[in-house]
Chain A
Amino acid sequence: MVNGSEAMPDSIRKATGSHQSAQEDGPPALLLAGLTKIFGGNPAVDRVDLTVPAGSFFGLVGPNGAGKTTALSMAVGLLRPDAGSSSVFGVDMWSDPERAKALIGVLPDSLALPERLTGRELLTFLGQLRGLDPAAITERTRELLDVMDLEHAERTLVVDYSTGMRKKIGLATALLHAPRLLVLDEPFEAVDPVSAMALKAILARFVADGGSVVLSSHVMALVEQLCDTVAIMVKGKVVAAGPLDEVRGRGSLEETFVRLAGDDVRATEGLSWLTS
């Protein structure tokens, strides 16, 4: 298992290193303004404004059903918003999708992939769709499969992958074209601790080299460990956002989260039949 900064594929490191200068005064990596989505009369995402500064490692946390996946889907162009806008490095996602989408790498939560391809075939296919050079495709694919520890599954089709393997190949597809911004929905769910360590190292290195990352998660400790900026979503609204230390104040992020998520702590009452 490769670990630490060596885990970063060379080709991706080179690509991400080149845009370090852009992060100082340029537009934010991701800017959501008044983003709204209504399902069956209930707002799933309610006028969300969010700024992800370039070069930041941004964590989006919230309880189940808070609207994290819906917000991120709208941000990357996979779900049409009812109102509001999303732009990536100043490029509007919905009016200039081609340019905006070229800048981002996306890992959606539990969506399918071309299931009847192997990991290598899938990455090659995607590289060709992205218009990468054949030699670069072959080389990057090899490195990514190595880093993700998927080389042993050379002839296994994606449909037969385990949940953790699906996450890892999904992350590889997000990294393949060396994007400037990564948008990852629950990237560590179902990933084993060893692979998670490697992934964390890759992401940390990506940000250190000037890339930007947005990830959503339930795991507060992980967000605290990785992210420098966080936002807390509850019931479709952003209730707190800013640098990690400002948001959590003197307590832990978990305490802040529980305080803001409000009345959801019911563990002490009810269910008396369970223990009797």
Chain B
Amino acid sequence: MVDVLIRMKLAIIRNSMTGGRAALMITGGVLGLLAAATTVWLSLVNPSGPGVVPDLLATTYVVWLLGWVVGPVWGASSVLRVEHFALLPMPRRQLAIGLLGAAFVGVTTAVTALAFLSLVVYGIRQGVLPALVSVPAAALQLVLVVLLSRASHSVFGLIARGRLGSAFTGLLLAAFLVLTQSGWIVVVVIAYSEVLSTGFPSGYSAVVRAIPSGWGVAAVESARHGQWWRAVGMLAAMVALSGLLLLGWSRTLGSLRHGRTTIRGSSHAPAATSPVLAGRTAAVVRKELRTWWRDPARTQILAIVLGWALGTALLPLTLGWTAVLPWAGPGMALMAATVACNLYAPDGTALWLTLQTGTEHEDLRGRQWAYLLVFGSLTVAVTVGFTLWSGYTWAWPWVLALVPALLGGGVGLALYTSVVALAPGPDAHKRPDNPLEHGETPWQSQVLFWVGLLPAVPAVMTVVFGTVYDNAALLWAGGPVGLATGVFLGWWLGRVAIGRLRAKGPEMLYQMRTGRAAKTVAVAAPKVDVPKAKLSRRESLVAGLSWILGPLCLIPQGVIPVVILLAGAEQKVWFLALYMPDPLRWPVAILMVLLGCFLLHQAIRLTVKSSRPAWPGK
């Protein structure tokens, strides 16, 4: 059973592999390997404090566990779907064991297994008996996280059927994002505090060992202290929890097609008659606003954007730091474009109605207005509220410049990306078991987060000059400049997207229908569009890797270290250049900037190539 499912999984992955997916898989694998190597390294260090290594390990295992639990909520659909096996006359538990076995085949599991080797390394350093305990402990730990991940997938699928549950999963994702991006603060705090030499507080040690991810560490420690009953008890507890999870998970596999939470529509509303509300664009806006209100998938988008912006601004308050508060609004505008960058895919093949009525222009503009009404009103409210709360009057020119530029740029970029880089997912009525299933957009989001900052550049430069030259007129001119940039970009990118929608509507529809990109083969008709140049598998792999690594090299590994070097600060965090010996710091930072520029140039060149006609001039 297990080997059949593994072969099936590998066949599906092989058949759906594209250059872009391969690039993502490789990038993910490399980042995972780095994380695993760091975890193993933690088991080899020799800090002076008592019990620091097991505490550090237990802490890291909590992070791995969180990653496994949250991962399935972020991801789209699993490769092997339970529905595939719904009609097989097979006990649910057997199916669960089979699916579990197949779940072990994957980059993520391999990387995690490598990371959990750190427990064995730690055990070996403690002696023969702890080493003997550490091997089953590490294996059980791996089984436990994979099972917890499967179980959480089922649980989240269950809760997400209604809007409240979707909002909850969205907030959970936002919290995970905030914690990940703020993780380096925790690292800095640990590194600079006395913890490494005095040991963690005992309460902290107890908590990280009480979480199932810490039971393995506790078992190895008990073996070292000769507390045999405790070591065996810990291992037995891990087995018992795994059994319980397997049992619970296999129960959820049995009950397919749970009722979705029914969301009700309006009743007997007549058609609007006033000229403003009866137009085509107004009709689309009304349809979109209803969808934003009723669709759990959109509730999740809203929750992620709101949760991320508020979380990022509010978390520093725990350190008494209020300087981030005014930036919650601009952050929200930026994150909206990053998350809502695939707005056509959730409606799927309903695009045929737009094509049939020839309302591509009204459809796109209507979606833009709805986006502005939803995210714009939230952004403005949060900006005004939080800036007033912070009491920083100097922040006003900045936020007034940033908000319109980021919102306008965002509404342009989000819709442009939705059309140009469509990532189709299953149609709404074909995903009754999990309304949150969607097309995967990791590239789009990664690119948009950085590109989404660009619309603010002119306005920010105006404010910067105003500040540097102490010129009040320039300082306050940022707002109008931002507004002008925002309005122009929203209008212009929308116009480009409309042109694309008109020219490529049938191809987009085909892509949503089949999940594959459409190819129009020009047989004889000169009217037929010239096909686009296809990138080879290697080229699209290079393009994908360049889009991911380019911005990473340029900004966080290039520009930021340069700024830190200029400022003469000492924080190394994860900046490669700062770990170098002194004479190499500047060259490495500059090399990173150059490498980032080169990779971005490659990425843009290949992307432009893929959207040009194969035979120019024909």
Contacts and interface: CB of A to CB of B under 8 A. Distances in A.
A36 interface: yes
Contacts of A173: 353
A157 B432 CA distance: 13
Interface string A84-116: 100000000011011001000010100111111
Interface in A118-156: 118, 120-121, 124-131, 134-135, 137-138, 141, 154-156
B357 A80 contact: no
Interface stretch (B31-39, B329-337, B521-529): B521-529
A70 B509 CA distance: 13
Nearest to A99: B358
Most B CB within 10 A of own CB, among A112, A113, A124, A161: A112
Contact of B523 (A82, A141, A166): A82
Interface string B340-371: 00000001111011011111001000000000
B260 interface: yes
A128 B355 contact: no
Interface in B236-276: 260, 262-273
Nearest to A105: B356
B428 A120 contact: no
B352 A111 contact: yes
Given A108-B352, A157-B294, A118 B429 contact: no
A160 interface: yes
B290 interface: yes
B362 A112 contact: no
Contact of A106 (B286, B356, B525): B356
B506 A79 contact: yes
Nearest to B272: A134
Contacts of B282: 128
Contact of A125 (B264, B286, B347, B349): B286
B356 A77 contact: yes
A114 B268 contact: no
A108 B512 CA distance: 14
Nearest to B524: A83
Contact of A83 (B272, B507, B510, B528): B528
A169 to B, nearest CB: 12
A138 B260 contact: no
B280 interface: yes
Interface in B511-566: 513, 518, 520-525, 527-529
A115 B428 contact: yes
A125 B347 CA distance: 15
A68 to B, nearest CB: 15
Given A78-B506, A82-B528, A113 B356 contact: no
A15 interface: no
B551 to A, nearest CB: 35
B269 A80 contact: no
A113 B266 CA distance: 17
Nearest to B514: A39
A175 interface: no
A117 interface: yes
Contacts of B518: 80
A38 interface: yes
B47 interface: no
Given A112-B349, A114-B353, A166-B429, A128 B267 contact: no
A101 B350 contact: no
A82 B522 contact: yes
Given A112-B427, A114-B350, A129-B283, A138 B271 contact: yes
A83 B525 contact: yes
B278 interface: yes
A155 B271 contact: no
A80 B506 CA distance: 6
Contacts of B125: none
B521 to A, nearest CB: 5
Contacts of B358: 97-98, 101
A159 interface: yes
B433 interface: no
Interface string A150-189: 0000111111110000100000010000000000000000
Given A80-B520, A116-B294, A154 B268 contact: yes
Contact of A120 (B268, B283, B520, B524): B268
A232 interface: no
Nearest to A154: B267
Contacts of B522: 82
Contacts of B347: 112, 114-115
Contacts of B429: 112, 115, 158-159, 161, 166
Contacts of B348: 112
Nearest to A119: B265
Given A111-B349, A130-B357, A120 B269 contact: yes
Contacts of A82: 520-523, 525, 528
Contact of B353 (A83, A129, A154, A161): A129
Contact of B271 (A84, A134, A166): A134
Contacts of A36: 523
B529 A101 contact: no
B440 interface: no
A76 interface: yes
B271 to A, nearest CB: 4
Contacts of A94: 527
A114 B528 contact: no
Contacts of B225: none
B355 A78 contact: yes
Contacts of B529: 80
Given A114-B353, A116-B291, A38 B523 contact: yes
Interface string A223-250: 0000000000000000000000000000
A20 B533 CA distance: 49
Given A79-B510, A80-B506, A129-B353, A118 B280 contact: no
Interface of A: 36, 38, 76-84, 94-95, 97-98, 101, 106, 108, 111-118, 120-121, 124-131, 134-135, 137-138, 141, 154-161, 166, 173
13 contacts: A36-B523, A77-B355, A78-B352, A80-B507, A80-B518, A94-B527, A114-B287, A117-B287, A124-B270, A134-B273, A135-B273, A160-B260, A160-B262
> Which 3 pairs of residues, A with B, have the shortest CB-CB distance?
A118-B265, A128-B283, A83-B523
Given A126-B357, A155-B265, 4 more contacts: A38-B521, A80-B506, A112-B347, A117-B290
